[in-house]
Structure 1
Amino acid sequence: MGIKGAHGTAIALSSGHGFATSGNDQSIVMFDLKSFKELARIPAAEDADAIVYDAPSNRVFSLNGDAHSSTVVDAASGKLVTNVPLGGKPEYGASAGDGKVYANLTDISEVVEIDAKNAMVTRRWSTEPCEQPVSMAIDTTHRRLFSGCRSGVLAVSDYQAGKTITTLPIGMGVDGAGYDPARGDLFATNADGTLTVMHQDSADKYHVVGNVQTPTGSRNMGLDQTLHRIYVAAAMFAPPPAGAPQGRGGRATVVPGTFKLLVIER
């Protein structure tokens, strides 16, 4: 499919289409879910990263970090709708399934709310004392958002009220989050070599169950809500070369042949 710098994938089952961000050429690739054939390449913006599908509007929203924007695409036609300025650098996002899409703005420690149908920002609120929010999970039953922050805490927001209600301690270097609605469990994968496990006692009350040790750098995860399994990507990393630039350009590189997928059950 010619994806250059793949970062995120969104699935629109009703249209039979998948969408993947191609960050290195600032585009979104639409592909057929059966054949995996590339159907279209839609221009996005600089640092196209995470991507979210919103079923009520049948649209996908790429979150473009360096461009501080979201590119909106019609999931049926693959046509560009618009680019929405967000006022900050977005990381992960989530659809509430009610026509609203949420995203973390990591540089200003905020959550932003997007009206999917009208493609416009309708609200924002602070995640403080949770700084640099990146990962996100959602509980649509209790209307709660979970933002994992690089400052070592996870913020719980009431997205109906538009405010942060509590925080929980997690490991450092978070980049993944998941919520299991059947069991009320929360998870955060952290680059310091921990998977923080939390439990939802009620909509507003939570506690940390403990930390599972993982290989250092294992900060991305997927959650199977049916099997209640967590999948964590892991590998060995070589240090960045001397004089490497800060940020993504200076990231450590994966040692070839060391990738593995951890399967964790609770």
Structure 2
Amino acid sequence: MKHPQLLFAAFISTSIFFSGCNAQSKSQNSFKLSATILLPSVSGRIDHLSFDNKHQIVFIAALGNNTLEAVDIKSKKVIRTIKNLKEPQGVVFIPESNSLFIANGGNGECDVYNAENFQKTVTVKLSGDADNVRYDAADKKIYVGFGDGGIAIIDATIFKVITEIKLSGHPESFQVDKTSKKIFVNVPDQEQIEVIDLETNSVINKWKMTEAKANFSMALDAINHRLFVGCRRSPILLIIDTQTGQTISSFSINSDVDDIFYNTVKKEIYLSCGAGYIDVFKQINANSYVANGKVSTHSGARTSLFIPELNQLIVASPSGFNRSASLSIYDIK
């Protein structure tokens, strides 16, 4: 995602702080800060994250630092750094081949690395601004939002482009619905959500945003046919029916949201907002939702990753005045 970047100075030695840090829960939910892992060598904006469940490693696209950081959440340490990337924005770990797929916004190239020795194996070249990435393990396909408007579908076994689907503007977050064989794509420059039919690989619908603008983040409840869309102007959460495109409900949220996750077990929605909060909502049923409080984080901490296997939410915080970049790990009870 292209936004002005702030470069913050950080000069703090590596250390780990456990629960009792400055992030405190202000909610009815059961978030507990279990650990904070410092990233002292990381400056600038942090973008998206991925997870290797077998080895318990989180991979971080440190966009402003032009690096990929690998963090072992068992030892609470940075174990490897891939340098000289070009504004990495999206990353996905592919367990079948033990590979890392990194989307670079600066040049549109998608670099594939061996996740054991961290050597580059291949590069997939797109036209520019490679951004959000999704991986379909069943079909062995990678989906990448890129350029002035496109979704590239890549074969995850040989890392070759299968096809490119044209959009009307640069895609931000998107979700692949395997049941309906559709992709729902945020296209904030055009103030709409575009719907792709995966059987024809073409856009079949465009839903205009009327309640708010700057629709950047998105999560999906495929069973109940609901999209959760985070907008920055004005900051609200929209719950949208994926079968009709109609808005079911909306809620005010904190500013600068960049990631949303849906917890299918607890029926909760988590939004990481750059204003310094995680907003939490409870799904009562497909048509009924309630705000369930918020959790304090840090200013600029707008990207995150929900790990269902661990029932944890990991929030990435950029460096700030007298503060190192870090990962905050929250247990969800």
1:1-266 residue pairs with structure 2 within 5 A? 3-14=85-96, 17-55=99-137, 57-64=139-146, 66-98=147-179, 99-151=181-233, 152-237=235-320, 258-266=324-332
State the partner residue of 2:17.
Answer: none
**Larger RCO (alpha carbons 8 Å, 6+ apart):** 2
Structure 2 residues without counterparts, runs of 5 or longer: 1-81
182-191 vs 26-35, greater mean Cα deviation: 26-35
- Structure 1 10/124 Cα, relative in aligned 2: closer, same or farther at 3 Å? farther
| Preserved contact between residue 319 and residue 326 of structure 2 (Cα < 8 Å) | no
Please tell me the residue identity of whatever aligns with 2:258: D
Q: Which string of whole-angstrom CA distances, capped at 9 and with x for unpartnered residues, describes residues 216-252 of structure 1? A: 11111111123322111113336xxxxxxxxxxxxxx
Give 1:16 shift: 5.1
Please tell me the residue identity of whatever aligns with 1:206: Y
Q: How many residues in Structure 1 have an aligned counterpart in Structure 2?
A: 248
Coordinate RMSD, CA, aligned: 2.2
Q: In structure 2, what is the Cα distance between the partners aligned to 1:172 and 1:81?
A: 37
225-234 vs 156-165, greater mean Cα deviation: 156-165
Please tell me the residue identity of whatever aligns with 1:261: L
Q: In structure 2, what is the Cα distance between the partners aligned to 1:56 and 1:155?
A: 29
Give 1:200 shift: 0.5
| Preserved contact between residue 8 and residue 49 of structure 1 (Cα < 8 Å) | yes
3-state SS, counterpart of residue 107 of structure 1: helix
- Structure 1 261/167 Cα, relative in aligned 2: closer, same or farther at 3 Å? same
Q: Which string of whole-angstrom CA distances, capped at 9 and with x for unpartnered residues, describes residues 118-150 of structure 1? A: 432222213431311111111122121111111
TM-score by length of 1: 0.84
Q: In structure 2, what is the Cα distance between the partners aligned to 1:231 and 1:63?
A: 23
Give 1:55 shift: 4.3
3-state SS, counterpart of residue 175 of structure 1: strand
Q: Which string of whole-angstrom CA distances, capped at 9 and with x for unpartnered residues, describes residues 162-200 of structure 1? A: 333221211011111111110011011111111111110
| Preserved contact between residue 130 and residue 154 of structure 1 (Cα < 8 Å) | no
Give 1:159 shift: 1.4
- Structure 1 14/143 Cα, relative in aligned 2: closer, same or farther at 3 Å? farther
Structure with the greater alpha carbon radius of gyration: 2
Name the % identity.
Answer: 25
Structure 1 residues without counterparts, runs of 5 or longer: 239-254
Give 1:34 shift: 4.7
Q: In structure 2, what is the Cα distance between the partners aligned to 1:145 and 1:203?
A: 11
Give 1:105 shift: 0.9
- Structure 1 110/22 Cα, relative in aligned 2: closer, same or farther at 3 Å? same
Give 1:104 shift: 0.8
Q: In structure 2, what is the Cα distance between the partners aligned to 1:46 and 1:176?
A: 22
State the partner residue of 2:72.
Answer: none
3-state SS, counterpart of residue 211 of structure 2: coil
| Preserved contact between residue 184 and residue 200 of structure 1 (Cα < 8 Å) | yes
Give 1:63 shift: 1.0
88-97 vs 34-43, greater mean Cα deviation: 34-43
Q: In structure 1, what is the Cα distance between the partners aligned to 2:247 and 2:149?
A: 22
Q: In structure 1, what is the Cα distance between the partners aligned to 2:161 and 2:318?
A: 36
Give 1:36 shift: 4.1
